Amino acid sequence: MRTIQIDLLPKVFPSGEDFHFSAFSDPSLEVGGDYFDFIKTRRGTIAMVIADASGKGVPAALLISQIHAAIRTEIRHDLPLGQILVNVNELLQKEEITDKFATLFVADYDPQTKVLRYANAGHNYPILISHEGDTELDRGGLLLGAFRDVAYDEGEVQLQSNDILFLYTDGLNECINNNDEQYGEGRAVQLIKEHHLLTAPEIQQRIVDDVHEFAAPMALQDDMTLVLLKVS
């Protein structure tokens, strides 16, 4: 099962002359309930996804596998992002998966215009870090699979040179140390600001190292996934 799950994750991340993606995922068990994805569209844009299924282990991984296939199918149909989430939520409702739900954030980045469209299904708000300040991408609706007839709003932001978009699952911000303190997303944001001149993979590694140092000697209690988009 772990091999199948690893095969779902992209091995090469999209990049261009003025943008670079980076991503990292670390399951707390042999298999986990986090995932991320990058999908090139027919319009020349790049769709990105990050998700976190309820629970852990095989049941969560199976749910993520189902969502992964559904999202890829819907994106290839070139539907609005809000409608994609509506369709995936309806699919999960039809499957009648008891007590299984997921948070998910999906976005579509146009490298030509630097416009990012997005919709959020109950996921931790991604944070856009720019010279104008920090912006949480909060437009969307409820998590997937829990409720029927959910509508999802779409948001849009214009990215600028030197902007960094930070996506993460709650295994990062809810990471606990020996003093029962949470890591929190603010600590990661501060690291990004301090090291914004580094490449996306280098910034990512600084965050991952800091989380593990914060938690040591304890092991991570939940799956941790993060995705970075850096615009040059």
pLDDT band at 4 (very low <50, low <70, confident <90, very high): very low
Note the pTM of the prediction, 2 decimals.
Answer: 0.93
List 133's β-bridge partners, or say none.
130
What is the C-alpha to C-alpha distance for residues 224 and 110, in angstroms, rounded to an integer? 27
Kindly list the distances between the CA atom of residue 195 and the CA atoms of 20, 42, 121, in Å, as whole numbers in the listed order: 15, 34, 30
pLDDT number for residue 222: 79
Q: Mean per-residue pLDDT for 28-38?
A: 77
- 8 Å CB contact between 43 and 71: no
pLDDT in tens, 75-115: 999 999 999 999 999 998 887 655 688 999 999 999 999 99
Domains of the chain (ranges, CATH numbers):
2-231 (3.60.40.10)
Q: Is the pLDDT of residue 148 over 60?
A: yes
pLDDT in tens, 149-183: 999 999 999 999 999 999 999 999 999 999 999 99
Q: Mean per-residue pLDDT for 191-217?
A: 95
Scanning the chain, the segments in alpha helix (DSSP H) are 2-8, 57-76, 81-95, 170-173, 185-194, 200-215
pLDDT number for residue 198: 96
pLDDT number for residue 1: 45
What is the C-alpha to C-alpha distance for residues 178 and 175, in angstroms, rounded to an integer? 10
pLDDT number for residue 27: 77
Which of 105, 113, 137, 136 is CA-nearest to residue 34? 105
Least confident of 146-150, 152-156, 197-201: 146-150
Per the document, the length of the chain is: 232
pLDDT in tens, 43-74: 999 999 999 998 767 777 788 889 999 999 99
Instruction: Give the chain's mean pLDDT.
Output: 91
CA 221 to chain centre: 18
